[in-house]
Structure 1
């Protein structure tokens, strides 16, 4: 079966496999989105992982559909779509593609993995070319187009070009090298004595103490197995973030549901004596941030690396900030058992109880 890509708007014009997306009328859904209709046997942490499982189970209902689509462009979704169009190469590079999709979506990278540098080069190449030729992630409104429409142009360019870079990253060195070097330099800081980590596995929190804001691929590198990160930078600058791992249906391990950050922000604002206020994103955001407010950030700015946005000085010392974050989640998660496949309705119900307590 030779698959081919179609723009999302054409989903219902022929039987279509939908990757890293949801939509009515798909013959087969291969997505890790919460509540997506991915067959149970094909569920995976990443949507690309579900595609790779499907390539090894081609008799699954709906796989015979020739058309493939997605409603947005990102690393995970692209790797999944590309794998359906080039299945032999995808299965030959399965471990690398899985690592690439995980890095793209969760920003996690095990530097001890022999494929780590190769995966990082691929992601950096995709990032650089996407920004140079099109628009950055969540930047479609700036070009006055819907993402499901505008992203089709990205797929049309990247799908035939990616295979060469996958086989020989040196061909794309000019594009991937600047970010690759930047991430390596930041990872050296993360692994140095200037940085230390404090783990709270019972609540899924990792606290990172490091001098300056860093790129996500370095900052989140050691966060596998954790779903919340409190970044504590020099000068009493902080950001708390729910990772993307709790926006999707994670297959590999149970998770705790996201809790609204209203009460936590209220507590922090009661302690904050600077002129700034603690603000937060709703739990339905892909990566909610809790941070001291300045000029409002766009979604594209919040998705960008922490070292590319201002992070303001708090009046609270780091030990107070860490204590408040840890105490809040220890109290509210005490009676909640981690599990897989929370629905958004269940998450809202749990959150409402936490807000009332």
Structure 2
């Protein structure tokens, strides 16, 4: 088996990992919505689906080409494992942990989190070892370059993660400080299971709520799929990625469109403050304030309005 770019793979029989099928796809191994992955292989992560496929030799695709239409940790782990099944089996738990850290912002082993941060860095023009000119190309070109560069490097990245600190240090520092703030109650996490909602209250900072705390610190402490971040004068709500994919281990609450709430909140702000919601079909849609660094809505009023809206629109 060998990797081929998504565009070229469409001309030949292929196995697509993690993304969407194309014209040549014989087998899809993906947790994306509306996938055609065989039911007996389905799992929360595409990487887990690949391992399920490797565990079941009776399900055998004839295609020898592997590809994906986007780059992320779950996709890289899945493609790598399909191309290197013996090596991947020896690292199965760590590889699945890396995929989960990248896709769902959850981790068991801190090493897995750091490896996912390294992969994030390759996608960041300011940190990536790739030439800046590559980021001026279209997304499919960039995706192909990332796979071609990282598939052969992936084992060494895993082996040498401690030597690659410059790529993971910034995120790791935020994760560490976020976990410490939750431990010492400077940040407080409260769950409302009836709304599938976790509320994180934090003091004001010089950054917006989503940049004041690392999502891994939150997701490692709650299974709730709806997250409400509350600073004293700025707020944010988002849906976790698990609620978009074909999640298997448990049922996730349907997403509620927050656009009408955003419109209502905007009317309560100053002229510059506008609330927006990306839409329920985005991977991790967020309700957030733009145009102003501070909301004019009182803390308790904002909190109550979000909770009331979710309760009124529960399926």
For normalisation by structure 2, the TM-score amounts to: 0.89
CA distance in 1: counterparts of 2:231 and 2:4, whole angstroms: 45
SS in 1 for 2:76: helix
CA distance in 2: counterparts of 1:52 and 1:104, whole angstroms: 17
Counterpart residue number, 1:283: 280
CA distance in 2: counterparts of 1:99 and 1:4, whole angstroms: 24
CA contact (8 A) 1:28 1:61 kept: no
CA distance in 2: counterparts of 1:180 and 1:105, whole angstroms: 16
Tell me by how many angstroms 1:55 deviates: 1.5
Extract unaligned runs of 5+ from structure 2. none
CA contact (8 A) 2:73 2:102 kept: yes
CA contact (8 A) 1:30 1:50 kept: yes
Tell me by how many angstroms 1:318 deviates: 2.2
Alignment match of 2:74 (pick from 73, 76, 81): 76
Counterpart residue number, 1:167: 159
Tell me by how many angstroms 1:168 deviates: 4.0
Alignment match of 1:195 (pick from 182, 187, 195): 187
Tell me by how many angstroms 1:223 deviates: 5.3
CA distance in 2: counterparts of 1:7 and 1:226, whole angstroms: 36
Pairs within 5 Å for 1:208-223? 208-211=200-203, 212=205, 213=209, 214-222=212-220
CA contact (8 A) 2:47 2:78 kept: yes
Tell me by how many angstroms 1:203 deviates: 2.0
Counterpart residue number, 1:325: 306
Deviation digits for residues 247-293 of structure 1 (CA, Å, limit 9, x no counterpart): 21111111122122122113323443564121111211111111112
Counterpart residue number, 2:136: 143
Deviation digits for residues 4-43 of structure 1 (CA, Å, limit 9, x no counterpart): 1100012233321101111233111011111111111111
CA distance in 1: counterparts of 2:287 and 2:34, whole angstroms: 26
Counterpart residue number, 2:144: 152
CA contact (8 A) 2:263 2:276 kept: no
Pairs within 5 Å for 1:334-353? 336=315
Q: Give the paired residue count.
A: 305
Alignment match of 1:246 (pick from 243, 246, 262): 243
| Shift in CA distance, 255/217, structure 1 to aligned 2, threshold 3 Å | closer
Pairs within 5 Å for 1:84-103? 84-103=82-101
Tell me by how many angstroms 1:237 deviates: 0.6
CA distance in 2: counterparts of 1:259 and 1:39, whole angstroms: 29
CA contact (8 A) 1:195 1:210 kept: yes
Alignment match of 1:127 (pick from 120, 139, 158): 120
